[in-house]
Amino acid sequence: MRCGAFLLLALLFLAGCSEKPVEKKGAPPTLITTTQAKAVALEISERTLGSLEAVNDPKISAEIAGKIIKISVRAGEAVKKGQLLAQIDPSDAAHQVEADRGEAARLSALLVQQERVVARQTELVQKNFISKNALDDVSAQRDALKNQLATAQARSGLSRNNVSKTHVSAPFDGVVEEQLVAAGDYIKLGDPMFKLVSNAKLRAHLPFPESAAPRLKVGMPVRISSPLAPDAAIEGIVEDIRPTVSEGNRAIDVIARFNNPGQLKGGGSVDAAVVTGQKDQAIVVPEQSVVLRPAGKVVYLIADGKAKQQVVQVGSKQRGVIEITGGLSGGETIALDGAGFLSEGAAVNVKEAPKNADSKPK
């Protein structure tokens, strides 16, 4: 029994000595892509969210009183410049044209007759048959008739113009937003009939904090983007800056005008950036290269297969890149994809970066 137990212990001891010790392995390298911090020309801009309004959105009002006998369009319909919107009864205006034309013809005939009288009186004065006072009287009557005829002709022109005003036409290409009258209505001079909107030119109202006022000037370029036209490059200029600060939000109202690329609508919202200047040598990196750590915002410098944490100060963001105002001098190789998984001294395995990952801002 004792020999068997001893033999069993000996075998167990030899088996234990034959096993190799377990080796401790470190974390595998993190797969990343890299890019370089670049010095580029970068626009300095003030960004905000604004609203749009149409530049041309008048109410089409009656220019003559009368009864509406025809409506040719309806709300929501697109119209062309000069297209008939409504017809006002032209009967009264046509009768007035005839009356004024007749009065002008009567005065014209009287003037012709008076010219003959003046000519005869002039001959008699030259022959000393009548006094000059008689000639002066008939000459004054002739001049009065001339003035009356001119007035009658002007009145006749106004009457003819009033006939044309019975045709209510679109002053520009646009869309009928509201129809305010119907056939059979009697309207007075100045009564609104239609609200017409053209989105060909738009005006953007851009609110900025009053602290930005010293940096904003009339004539500065504005870049606008909208979800209604995500692929359109929309550019305008600052047309006006309202001189007062809004009591509700303490903001200044910057107004920019631009041509509509086609999809935008009055009343819509836009993202806007007013370009206030340019830095010729701004250090920029892609936004995903900057990560947040307990030390602050950092990038990871890549050298010899290791990551080194570098604290940076950042500026404005623009088209997928972010300005580095402190911590980098340009030319450094930094982590791009995978930067969020790194820590100080982490081992990395670098793969080729996508072609558009570190594109410059346009």
**Is residue 197 scored above 80 in pLDDT?**
yes
The percent of residues above 90 in pLDDT, for the chain, comes to 41
Give tens-digit pLDDT for 257-312: 888 887 888 888 888 889 888 888 889 999 999 999 998 999 999 998 899 999 99
Minimal CA–CA distance to 254: which of 268, 263, 244?
244
CA–CA dist 88, 218 (Å, integer): 45
The pLDDT of residue 358: 46
The pLDDT of residue 26: 58
**3-class DSSP assignment, residue 112:** helix
**Is residue 25 scored above 80 in pLDDT?**
no
Cα distances (Å, whole numbers) of residue 124 to 79, 134, 141, 174, 250:
68, 10, 18, 69, 86
Are 289 and 329 a contacting pair, CB within 8 Å?
A: no
**3-class DSSP assignment, residue 267:** coil
Per-chain mean pLDDT for the chain: 85
**3-class DSSP assignment, residue 118:** helix
The pLDDT of residue 353: 54
pLDDT band at 24 (very low <50, low <70, confident <90, very high): very low
Residue 84 has φ and ψ, to the nearest 5°, of -70, 125
Residues in the chain: 362
- Bridge partners (DSSP) of residue 302 are 307
Higher pLDDT, 11 or 95: 95
Q: Which residues contact 62 (CB under 8 A, 6 or more apart)?
A: 88, 168, 187, 188, 189, 190, 191, 192, 193
Give tens-digit pLDDT for 112-131: 998 998 888 888 888 888 78
Torsion sign, CA atoms 89, 93, 95, 101: negative
The pLDDT of residue 355: 55
Please tell us whether the domain made up of 30-42+281-351 is placed in CATH 3.10.20.30.
no
Token pair 């106004």 in the structure block, residue: 158
The percent of residues above 70 in pLDDT, for the chain, comes to 90
The pLDDT of residue 301: 93
CA–CA dist 93, 9 (Å, integer): 130
Cα distances (Å, whole numbers) of residue 4 to 7, 10, 14, 89:
5, 10, 16, 131
pLDDT band at 133 (very low <50, low <70, confident <90, very high): confident
Q: Which residues contact 313 (CB under 8 A, 6 or more apart)?
A: 297, 324, 325, 326, 327
Give tens-digit pLDDT for 303-357: 988 999 999 999 878 778 898 989 998 889 999 998 889 989 899 988 865 555 4
Token pair 């915002």 in the structure block, residue: 297
Of 16-20, 33-37, 95-99, give the lowest mean pLDDT range.
16-20
Indicate the helix (H) or strand (E) that contains 56: strand 38-56
Q: Which residues contact 134 (CB under 8 A, 6 or more apart)?
A: 121, 124, 125
Token pair 């890149």 in the structure block, residue: 321
Give tens-digit pLDDT for 59-92: 899 999 999 999 999 998 999 999 999 999 999 8
Give tens-digit pLDDT for 159-195: 999 899 999 999 988 889 899 999 999 999 999 999 9
pTM of the complete model: 0.56
Give residue limits of the domains in the chain. Answer: 30-42+281-351, 90-165
- Edge-first strand order for the sheet with 84-88 is 167-169, 84-88, 66-71, 186-187
Domain range 90-165, its CATH number among 3.40.1000, 1.20.144, 1.10.1740, 1.10.287: 1.10.287
CA–CA dist 190, 192 (Å, integer): 6
User: Kindly report the CA angle at 181 between 175 and 186, in degrees rounded to 5?
Assistant: 145
CA–CA dist 74, 52 (Å, integer): 24
